[in-house]
Structure 1
Amino acid sequence: MTNSFLSLAGLELQSRSRMNDALWQYVAGVAGDGLSFQRNQAAFDEFKLLPRVLRAAKVDCSLTLFNEPLAAPIMLAPLALQCLAHPDGELASAAAAMAQDLGFVLSTLSSCPMAEVARAACGAALPAKRPPLWFQLYLQPRWQDSLSLIRRAEDCGFSALVVTVDAPVTGLRLSELRTGFSLPANVSAVELEGMQPAPTTLDGLLACAPDWRSIEALRSESSLPIILKGILSPADAALAKAVGVDGIIVSNHGGRVLDGVPATIECLSAVRAAVGPEMTVMLDGGIRRGSDIAKAVCLGADCVLLGRPLMQALALDGALGVARMLKILKDELAMVMALLGASSLKELNRDCLWGK
């Protein structure tokens, strides 16, 4: 049985044999020396849980984000080119998320057409109870191309826009360079076909990089909730709120862009304080256990997103692997909450952490 892993650590070990070295280095690739990637996971260990006894009760992990239901505060992050890991790619990931009543974010760099992904998601969830299905937007060099992507997403029923803002240039991922990773002929970013490609020089990329005016213009073009992904600075979080952004994802791009930055969990509390309790704040980076999710919620996150484990689960067993990975995290979170004496997400707060 290929999907017999019992934890995300086991998933990582088993999935390694399903990828050639170049693909593994692409999935696991980190910027620089990998300090930020390592810190993302290690920083969780510095926050200790403080259980309360004789309070165990039935646990409810559910919540709503922008009026859409989630069985637990877990979503699949927008990962590019998922057909690299499995022929079904984003179709499998979206269906698995919906089958587990969890959310899915489709990347601009999807290797499956967004209309087909939307159909796969709708076929795996009850329409009245469908979890979040969001579209991640890389703003394109030509504004009309960005608008085209937005209109397609709206027409396909995607219910929010996740704008990645922390990667105006690509990070230096040495492991990819060493293995000579390149895309196979049968995998491409299908939604970008016919659009103006991004510049290939640093000066060219910086010349067309989005700024805060781009976010204001985007806000005027779509009624969908807009979520900025890639915020670490409380000052940037406050600016996002000021220009009418609806949510924030505290993220350092999984340590794939700029090395030497703090772990996302280290930045979370300050970002939450900068935007107040009402704004939706999420986090990605380093989530590998249900206890990590609980700690993130205690420190102010409404939800977390999973990146690399998604590609590993896809490579191991397609949709079944992704569904199993998500089920493990859901079950771990429920167990941790029961042991903490928290019957709902609202009861996860700083009182559940030792010395914090």
Structure 2
Amino acid sequence: MITNVTEYEAIAKEKLPKMVYDYYASGAEDQWTLKENRNAFSRILFRPRILVDVSKIDLTTTVLGFKISMPIMIAPTAMQKMAHPEGESATARAASAAGTIMTLSSWSTSSVEEVASTGPGIRFFQLYVLKDRNVVTQLVKRAERAGFKAIALTVDTPMLGRREADIKNRFTLPPNLVLKNFEGLDLGKLERTDDSGLASYVARQTDRSLNWKDVKWLQTITSLPILVKGVLTAEDTKIAVQAGAAGIIVSNHGARQLDYVPATITALEEVVKAAQGRVPVFLDGGIRRGTDVFKALALGASGVFIGRPVVFSLAADGEAGVRKVLEILHDEFELTMALTGCRSVNEISRDHVVTEWDRPRIAPRL
């Protein structure tokens, strides 16, 4: 009897090989940011409004012009067939059934074409820019042809963060799996090494010279809107908007890259203010409750993306698990809206929360 999203992690830990569970669960170095991604939410409190008629609540919203059932979407997570044989295809079906968006990782174990063949649905494609730009162009064109609606360009991974669990486990892709989007391309394999096989692969393949000019280059090879994923500062937000980004995803890569960056919920408001409403701002990292979703929207996010809850529920119960996670978060979010007096996503405002960085509210004299 699953009652909340976090319960899936314990089930996944029992079912998965240690190497695979550790890969999904761990963060970089001391894992301070990994803990902080969750803890920071607990320091944001509600200011609920009462006696509002909440007999009808509308959770729907629009992302890049696409109407979705709720502002909760699926973040890109790599190699999902390590969690379940149906991998990304099961996740795609679950997202489609829930009426929301799935983002497919470049490093998926199901190809863009396979995911597209699961049926209708709004899907985004997450892109790592490789040294071989011809491969990047091919990949983007394939995603376009397969009906993907946006590119989420990951910008925080010139090198892979130091994930010590992966080094200890000498992480590599299980022998029966391949990175499907790169199959048949001469990119080498993700092989077992003396440390993390993924870190070695990334060092060989990804382009460390990636910079803002490449965002412009990407616009020359695709007409799809480009979301810049991995922004944490006002300075980079302004440059992203100037570079023509269609949106920004405030992300610290699930705390897997640079440790001791702030939790995404802590960085969110700075980014939102810098964007000045010119582009939508989204958030990933640490979302485990409907209350977390509400807090992100109150601080200016247009929606959130969830990662680990998806792979853990996929490991526990396949497509049904992912459906259940989306259903739980939907229902918790709806309840939070009702109990704070919000009838639609547009009614969620900054006045509904108080954060540790707000000035202390001085009580009026009675």
Normalised by the size of structure 2, how large is the TM-score?
0.91
Whole-Å Cα distance in 1 between the matches of residues 85 and 201 of structure 2?
Answer: 32
In structure 2, do the counterparts of structure 1 residues 46 and 242 end up closer, same or farther at CA, with 3 Å as the change threshold? same
Whole-Å Cα distance in 1 between the matches of residues 254 and 61 of structure 2?
Answer: 25
The reply to whether residue 162 of structure 1 matches residue 160 of structure 2 is: no
The reply to whether residue 182 of structure 1 matches residue 179 of structure 2 is: no
Give the equivalent residue in structure 1 for 2:125. Answer: 135
SS in 2 for 1:105: strand
Which one of 43, 46, 50 corresponds to residue 49 of structure 1?
A: 46
Give the equivalent residue in structure 1 for 2:64. Answer: 66
Contact 2:130 2:205 in 1 (8 A): no
Deviation of 1:8 (Å) = 1.3
Whole-Å Cα distance in 2 between the matches of residues 202 and 162 of structure 1?
Answer: 18
Which one of 70, 89, 92 corresponds to residue 91 of structure 1?
A: 89
Deviation of 1:61 (Å) = 0.8
The reply to whether residue 338 of structure 1 matches residue 330 of structure 2 is: no
Deviation of 1:67 (Å) = 1.4
Residues 91-240 of structure 1 aligned to structure 2 (within 5 Å): 91-122=89-120, 130=121, 132-193=122-183, 194-196=185-187, 200=200, 208-240=208-240
Deviation of 1:289 (Å) = 0.3
One-letter code aligned to 1:274: A
Deviation of 1:18 (Å) = 1.2
Whole-Å Cα distance in 2 between the matches of residues 202 and 113 of structure 1?
Answer: 19
Contact 1:7 1:328 in 2 (8 A): yes
Residues 283-298 of structure 1 aligned to structure 2 (within 5 Å): 283-298=283-298
The reply to whether residue 265 of structure 1 matches residue 265 of structure 2 is: yes
SS in 2 for 1:163: strand
Whole-Å Cα distance in 2 between the matches of residues 173 and 76 of structure 1?
Answer: 23
In structure 2, do the counterparts of structure 1 residues 121 and 201 end up closer, same or farther at CA, with 3 Å as the change threshold? closer
Normalised by the size of structure 1, how large is the TM-score?
0.93
Give the equivalent residue in structure 1 for 2:19. Answer: 22
SS in 1 for 2:117: helix
Matched length:
345
Whole-Å Cα distance in 1 between the matches of residues 202 and 284 of structure 2?
Answer: 27
Contact 2:131 2:206 in 1 (8 A): no
201-210 or 333-342: bigger deviation: 201-210
Contact 1:290 1:333 in 2 (8 A): yes
11-20 or 289-298: bigger deviation: 11-20
Whole-Å Cα distance in 2 between the matches of residues 195 and 277 of structure 1?
Answer: 43
One-letter code aligned to 2:27: V
Give the equivalent residue in structure 1 for 2:28. Answer: 31
The reply to whether residue 322 of structure 1 matches residue 313 of structure 2 is: no
Give the equivalent residue in structure 2 for 1:349. Answer: 349
Deviation of 1:90 (Å) = 0.3
Whole-Å Cα distance in 2 between the matches of residues 47 and 155 of structure 1?
Answer: 43
The reply to whether residue 309 of structure 1 matches residue 299 of structure 2 is: no
One-letter code aligned to 1:306: I
* CA RMSD, 1 decimal: 1.8
Deviations 1:26-69 (A, max 9, x none): 11121001001111000011110111111141111100111111
Contact 1:5 1:14 in 2 (8 A): no
Deviations 1:11-33 (A, max 9, x none): 22222211121111111121001
| Structure 1: tracts of 5 or more residues without a match | 123-129
Whole-Å Cα distance in 2 between the matches of residues 234 and 89 of structure 1?
Answer: 36
In structure 2, do the counterparts of structure 1 residues 108 and 195 end up closer, same or farther at CA, with 3 Å as the change threshold? farther
Contact 2:73 2:101 in 1 (8 A): yes
Contact 1:41 1:287 in 2 (8 A): yes
One-letter code aligned to 2:169: T
Identity rate of aligned residues, in percent?
A: 37
Whole-Å Cα distance in 2 between the matches of residues 245 and 101 of structure 1?
Answer: 25
SS in 2 for 1:169: coil
Whole-Å Cα distance in 1 between the matches of residues 91 and 14 of structure 2?
Answer: 20
Give the equivalent residue in structure 2 for 1:126. Answer: none
